[in-house]
A and B are shown apart, each in its own frame.
Chain A
Amino acid sequence: MTALTADKAAAWMADFAASIAENAELLTDLDRQIGDADHGSNMNRGMKAVCALGSEFPDAPALLKKVGMTLVNSVGGASGPLYGTFFLRLAKELPSSGDATPEVWGKALRAGLQGILDRGKAKVGDKTMVDALTPAVDAYDEAVTGGAEFGQALQAAAAACAEGRDSTVDLVAHKGRASYLGERSKGVQDPGATSVTLLLESAARTLA
């Protein structure tokens, strides 16, 4: 069992917010090269709003659901609905009792990923956050099946996420604004794959 209190979920979000703030300029600069130069500032605005939510939450799923709604209604662009849907679906799968087995966590992460796929309709190889998050969730499941503890599985997920992020450099974008560049989108790391890696790295640091 992995105890997931509202405090722990809040620590995850605080760590992610700090990481986004630290990397906002990098995210915006990547987006400037293949998108429209606002991913860092948008995510930063959204996570600042998340940090301002306070601590009046009975349990982690309640907090994470609110995080989803907050991101939907503060980030804008494509990232708002995508990140928002991720957290809404994730929260739905987590028990309010605060106890979740690594398997339940795996199901929740998978549901979050599925939410992003449903909303954005991107596939692996389209040069989006899906290219990082899909191998991350796969690596998590594989680690858990192999008997890894929650923390180890999260670390495996974060590492696979980073690898997936790096793989986007050589891809040609097929979704979002970068897709209008065609071949010219090659050579730049995808901003969404970059920010979702920060999210999983934060999870590995704070949740286990």
Chain B
Amino acid sequence: MKKLINDADTVVGDALRGIEAAHSDRVRVDHEHHLIIRADAPVKGKVGLVSGGGSGHEPMHGGFVGRGMLDAACAGEVFTSPVPEQMQVATAAVDGGAGVLHIVKNYTGDVMNFEMAAEMAAEEADVRVESVVVDDDVAVTDSLYTAGRRGVGLTVLLEKIVGAGAEEGRDLDAIVELAKKVNGQGRSLGLALTSCTVPAAGKPTFDLGEDEFELGIGIHGEPGRERKKLAPASDMAQMLVEPILADLEFGGDVIAMMNGMGGTPLLELYLMYGEVTKILEKAGVKVARNLVGNYITSLEMAGCSLTLLKADDELLKLWDAPVNTPGLRWGC
């Protein structure tokens, strides 16, 4: 294992010091609880948005804290859900009197920890907490016999759009409704060319042959739907687009994200994006907005994921609204 770390046990805390050093104009860091909090939180009268998850997916979630997006992000250990205490402290820190929404990716650990946090918050404090679980990964087909569809790339788009809605002054009920709408209209699928190495484990999470790739990976190096032989990018783009279009009717405008898993150069991401747009055009799907880059990663894994979100005028307007976070910034 070759990594730029001091000690596998202190990776997350050490990285948070760097985030603070780099972005203290927009965020503050609670080092005791491993939280990244919007610098001016709590914002009076605004619904607070808290997300969080294992570390190793940067810029998500900490990189999306700031005006127009999240109010706080809880950083867990690498690939491990944060704990209820972190979520409780974050919730209290961003409660501006209008309630707090927890944005949870559908992974067993994340869901259980956020559930416990919400139960504890309901017992102890007088802040109203609602949750939305993101589950956009079409790789998981048989949800009766699995933990259900995972929450992956759509989380980024949802945090942006719901963040804009909260900034506009929508109340908690309206924010919950908006989050559910986004979750219902978006789908993702990813592929990996290599595994990744969790610092504390010291070796790659899975083994992939030189001529193989894994289709349908999650974001923790957990293996995916099936293992296939490498193919030209045009074919691999087809393997990403087809299951997404088969899962949901995507006529009209979409917001598309071609996301890198952490170890794939932008050159290849743009190449893949070009292939994807060709296929989408043929299918009558129009990309109204896009993101190409590393937004929800899996340490140094090579590979990419595609997210499509059906976008009407409301969602496009919220998408275009100003956002000022370390990971996404426009309109300001």
A interface residues (Cβ-Cβ under 8 A, vs B): 28, 32, 35-38, 41-42, 45, 72-82, 84, 119-120, 172, 174-177, 179-182, 184
Cross-chain contact A72 with B79 (CB below 8 angstroms): no
Minimal beta-carbon separation of A102 from chain B (angstroms): 31
Minimal beta-carbon separation of B77 from chain A (angstroms): 6
9 contacts between A and B (CB under 8 A): A28-B200, A38-B198, A41-B200, A76-B80, A76-B82, A81-B84, A177-B218, A180-B146, A182-B142
Cross-chain contact A180 with B80 (CB below 8 angstroms): no
The answer to whether B78 has its CB under 8 Å from any CB of chain A is yes
* Contacts beyond the supplied A38-B201, A76-B113: 10 A-B pairs with Cβ under 8 Å: A32-B206, A36-B80, A38-B198, A74-B83, A80-B112, A119-B112, A120-B108, A174-B145, A177-B222, A180-B218
What residues on A are CB-neighbors of B140 within 8 Å? Answer: 180
What residues on B are CB-neighbors of A79 within 8 Å? Answer: 109
Minimal beta-carbon separation of B186 from chain A (angstroms): 19
Taken together as a complex, chains A and B put the C-alpha atoms of A171 and B298 apart, in Å, by 28
B114 and chain A: residue at smallest CB distance: A81
Cross-chain contact B203 with A32 (CB below 8 angstroms): yes
Cross-chain contact A38 with B80 (CB below 8 angstroms): yes
Cross-chain contact A77 with B198 (CB below 8 angstroms): no
The answer to whether B107 has its CB under 8 Å from any CB of chain A is yes
The answer to whether B76 has its CB under 8 Å from any CB of chain A is yes
Taken together as a complex, chains A and B put the C-alpha atoms of A45 and B222 apart, in Å, by 22
B220 and chain A: residue at smallest CB distance: A36
Query: Known contacts A35-B222, A177-B108, A181-B223; is A72 also within 8 Å of B116 by CB?
Result: yes
What residues on B are CB-neighbors of A176 within 8 Å? Answer: 108, 147
Chain B binding surface, main DSSP class = loop
Cross-chain contact A32 with B77 (CB below 8 angstroms): no
What residues on B are CB-neighbors of A76 within 8 Å? Answer: 54, 76-77, 80-83, 109, 113
Query: Known contacts A32-B201, A36-B205; is A81 also within 8 Å of B112 by CB?
Result: yes
The answer to whether B150 has its CB under 8 Å from any CB of chain A is yes
Cross-chain contact A78 with B81 (CB below 8 angstroms): yes
Minimal beta-carbon separation of B86 from chain A (angstroms): 8
Most buried by A among B76, B78, B80, B218: B80
Cross-chain contact B84 with A73 (CB below 8 angstroms): yes
B217 and chain A: residue at smallest CB distance: A180
B79 and chain A: residue at smallest CB distance: A36
The answer to whether B13 has its CB under 8 Å from any CB of chain A is no
Per a CB cutoff under 8 Å, which of A32, A84, A174 touches B146?
A174
The answer to whether B327 has its CB under 8 Å from any CB of chain A is no
Minimal beta-carbon separation of B169 from chain A (angstroms): 34
B82-93 near A? 1/0 per residue, CB < 8 Å? 111100000000
**Chain B positions 103-139 with a Cβ under 8 Å from a chain A Cβ:** 107-109, 112-113, 115-116, 139
Most buried by B among A41, A74, A77, A120: A77
Per a CB cutoff under 8 Å, which of A73, A179, A181 touches B83?
A73
Closest 8 CB pairs of A and B: A77-B109, A179-B146, A81-B112, A37-B201, A78-B109, A76-B80, A41-B200, A73-B85
What residues on A are CB-neighbors of B108 within 8 Å? Answer: 78, 120, 175-177
Cross-chain contact A177 with B112 (CB below 8 angstroms): no
The answer to whether B59 has its CB under 8 Å from any CB of chain A is no
Cross-chain contact B112 with A120 (CB below 8 angstroms): yes
